[in-house]
Amino acid sequence: MMKEHIIIGFISRLLIPFIQLYALYVIAHGDLGPGGGFQGGVIFAASIVLYAIVFGMDEGRKRFSQKLSDILSPIGVFIYGGIGLLCILAGGAYLQYGKLPLGSLKLASHLGIYGIEIGVGITVAAVMMTIFFETARRKND
Amino acid sequence: MIDFILLFFLVVCAIAAIRMKDLLSAIMLLSAYSLIMAVVWTRLNAVDVAFTEASVGAGITTVLLIAALSRTQRGEEDGKGSEGGKQKPADRMTKSEIQKAHIITRHSIISLIIVLITGAVLVYGTIDMPNYGDPNAPVNLHVAPRYIKGSYEESGVINMVTAILANYRGYDTLGETTVIFTSGICVILLLRKKIV
């Protein structure tokens, strides 16, 4: 789409890794500051969307294939639900992270929350990309 | 002072987005609206909400709306007989057109009155509301003290908002994630050309 614009291509090539790194930072630091899985996932999806807008839809799909996003979107929900089931297996209620056998209550709860934030991030990123790629019109249709 | 400026621009953006005929500009105005709203949230010390507003409202929603726009046309269709549409000079109107215009004017007067009454009632309702940040407001007396006192001890995370979202309201967040997943499935089912 904008492949011929050297400046846009160069700047987005330069920025996209940092945007993705920031997205991972936001997911990983949702427990310490503002942010979390939802926001981080959206930012990650935005980086791929930027790539697709600058270099074309098919090029974007090459970087993040349809199959990959289709697989990742349920995986995030599975991680979330799976952690809840693990809590039951560990003897607590559903999603009672404190019962996970990971040391003290605080640490277990912290790690459980960490896990579900990652799950939310994966699902949100994959679904946002899916919605973008399916909604935007390609050249050939 | 800065709050008034921000809220003023918020209203300007909202009205401009409604009046705009060019849909791409309307989307951009909505994006600006979300960004200003994010600043307002930050002013209210709700950084998590501000972050979400900036990334979701101003970021991905804009992109998704533009993607949806790429499947349709850019301009809004001229609503026939609408207020904004071009009106013929009065002497060249037929009788039925004049009648129609009268009905439209009457309808818009009725809507204006309804809107004014609703707005007045809402403003009247705010008089009874507690001051912003009042520690004795009912909303701050129910579960908030427990979250503030115990969220770190009970959940182990420093960010209270994350503690509430992921721990106390874990089912809600699971439901939200499922909703997003479902929306992705629906988009695939509706729009994908070839389902493998």
Cβ contacts (< 8 Å) between B192 and chain A: which residues? Answer: 134
Q: Give the residue extent of every domain in chain A.
A: 6-135
Position B155 confidence tier, pLDDT thresholds 50, 70, 90:
confident
- pLDDT score for B79: 52
Quick check: A107 contacting B, CB < 8 Å? yes
B75 has which bridge partners? B22
Could you say which residues from 15 to 54 on chain A have a Cβ atom under 8 Å away from some Cβ of chain B?
26, 30-36, 38-39, 42-43, 45-46, 49, 53
Measured between alpha carbons, how far is residue A67 from residues A17, B43, B184, B196 in Å? 22, 42, 13, 10
Q: Which of A71, A107, A109 is the mutation pick for testing B, counting most B CBs within 10 A?
A: A109
Cβ-contact A16, A47 below 8 angstroms: yes
Q: pLDDT digits over B75-133, tens only? A: 766 554 444 445 555 566 677 778 888 888 888 899 999 999 999 999 999 888 888 77
Position A19 confidence tier, pLDDT thresholds 50, 70, 90:
very high
Quick check: A12 contacting B, CB < 8 Å? no
State the ipTM, two decimals: 0.88
- Average pLDDT for residues B60-85, to the nearest whole number? 72
Arithmetic mean of pLDDT over chain A: 87
Q: Give the residue extent of every domain in chain B.
A: 1-76, 95-129, 134-196
Q: pLDDT digits over A106-125, tens only? A: 888 888 888 989 999 999 99
Query: Which pTM does this prediction carry?
Result: 0.82
Could you give the CA distance from residue A15 to residue A43 in angstroms, rounded to a whole number? 12
- pLDDT score for B83: 44
Query: What CATH number should be reported for the domain whose range is B1-76?
Result: 1.20.120.1200
Chain A's closest residue to B73, CA to CA, is: A137
